[in-house]
Amino acid sequence: MTAEEMKADGAPLEGADITPKRDEGVLKVVKREGSGTESPMIGDKVTVHYTGWLLDGTKFDSSLDRRDKFSFDLGKGEVIKAWDIAVATMKVGEICRITCKPEYAYGSAGSPPKIPPNATLVFEIELFEFKGEDLTDDEDGGIIRRIRKKGEGYSKPNEGALVEIQFEGRYGDRVFDRRELRFEIGEGDNYDLPHGLEKAIQKMEKSEESVFYLKPNYGFGSAGKEKFQIPPDAELQYEVKLKSFEKAKESWEMNTDEKLEQSCIVKERGTQYFKEGKYKRAVLQYKKIVSWLEHESGLSEEEDTKAKSLRLAAHLNLAMCHLKLKEYSQALENCNKALELDSNNEKGLFRRGEARLAVNDFELARGDFQKVIQIYPSNKAAKVQLVTCQQKIREQHEKEKKMYANMFQRLADKDLKSAATLQTSHNEDEEMKDEQNGVGDKSEVDTEA
């Protein structure tokens, strides 16, 4: 694009002021209307094509020339201010031209060597798609956030924080829950909140307003929620405003007495969750004890005894929770941790045996159950499991015996087949020699005649 074309087109002079301050720092002209009603929100991953010019018509950059679309997270400061402002006003398929003053571009520094200091820039941008921010640890798309209004500061609620929220839950077009609520993170289940929403709230800043989209695993799961008439495997949407929060004390902020006191409290809370069948909730509570006390040093003899007792209980209870959740490697890990604290612990040995039995490690499982019976002869459950192990080992041996027998039979059959093939080949060779000898004799007779 030449300078004359730009002046004729009027792009540097025309356009709607889209700056929040209305200071004409970013002017926008729509070249082609987009589709749909939604525009990108803060935190969305947006994908665009663009071309940039100086006011004299010099092109300094173009994704079109590279044939490579450009993606960035909107509103996160990854691009110049003008882009964050302009792209947030676009629809999918829209092409617009923006003119941005230096303070919304590269300012007094410019971007050498192509962009001089205090340069007003012109961009043509086409928006192809946008999608919300994935908040899950595994990036499985189970919790998607779209920020309507950015929050204040950088602090976020942690596990155990006291939060005050205003929210609305939707299933399809139906609002099923609308409340203002003050609760402690980790206790949401008591207030009919899905665990995915609690996880999402921990990513929010004070005064932030966001929309969250929850897949079934992060919502009410396969059980649904009869109270709200939510069927099994339902996808949910929540609009949430985080009005305020008080962070729970982190481990480094607590002294030893506080850690021991809080550990007793969360142990009881975890046990209550376990009794209610809320194993994942219980796991979160027991893990707190481990994180608070595992590396605590400089304890008195009394404090050390209490800390070890709490850690032992936490690992044993974690092992039990993981067994219930069929998470056997974690169960085994926590049993080993418990047995490091008490090598002959009855529950630790028994639960390790159960974890090993569940993953078909029958020999090691038998060893654990035998040790339980040796130290605690009255443990009937261990005796039952020992019988199960021995039965499984016998079955395994029988299976291996048959497998090897079949394997040897196949090898024997193969040898017989090979021998038969060799014999057949030998016979054919003999027959061929006889035929050749016969032909030779006949030739000699004919010659003599």
61 is catalytic: yes
The Cα–Cα gap between 318 and 134 comes to 28
The answer to whether 203 and 212 have CB atoms below 8 angstroms apart is no
Q: Provide the β-strand partners of residue 146.
A: 211
Name the active-site residue from 9, 61, 189, 233. Answer: 61
279 is catalytic: no
At residue 247's C-alpha, the angle toward residues 242 and 248, to 5°, is 135
The Cα–Cα gap between 181 and 169 comes to 13
Name the active-site residue from 18, 42, 98, 106. Answer: 106
List the alpha helices (DSSP H) in 20-139. Answer: 63-66, 81-87
Helix (H) or strand (E) holding 184: strand 174-184
Q: Which bin fits 36, alpha (ψ -120 to 50), beta or left (φ > 0)?
A: left
Name the active-site residue from 104, 123, 171, 274. Answer: 123
Name the active-site residue from 9, 60, 192, 393. Answer: 60
The Cα–Cα gap between 252 and 265 comes to 18
Burial pattern 112-133, b for ≥16 Cβ within 10 A else e, equals eeebeeebebbbbbbbeebebb
Phi then psi for 194, rounded to 5 degrees? Answer: -70, 150
The Cα–Cα gap between 109 and 149 comes to 30
E-only strand ranges, 33-159: 45-54, 59-62, 70-73, 95-100, 121-131, 133-134, 143-149
The Cα–Cα gap between 184 and 179 comes to 15
Name the active-site residue from 18, 80, 147, 230. Answer: 80
Please tell me the chain's helix, strand, coil percentages from 3-state DSSP, rounded to the nearest 5: 45, 20, 30
The Cα–Cα gap between 311 and 422 comes to 71
123 is catalytic: yes
List the alpha helices (DSSP H) in 151-278. Answer: 195-201, 256-275
The Cα–Cα gap between 278 and 268 comes to 14
At residue 150's C-alpha, the angle toward residues 41 and 168, to 5°, is 80
Name the active-site residue from 18, 42, 44, 50. Answer: 50
* DSSP count for the chain of H helices, then E strands: 11, 13
Catalytic (active-site) positions:
50, 60-61, 80, 106, 123
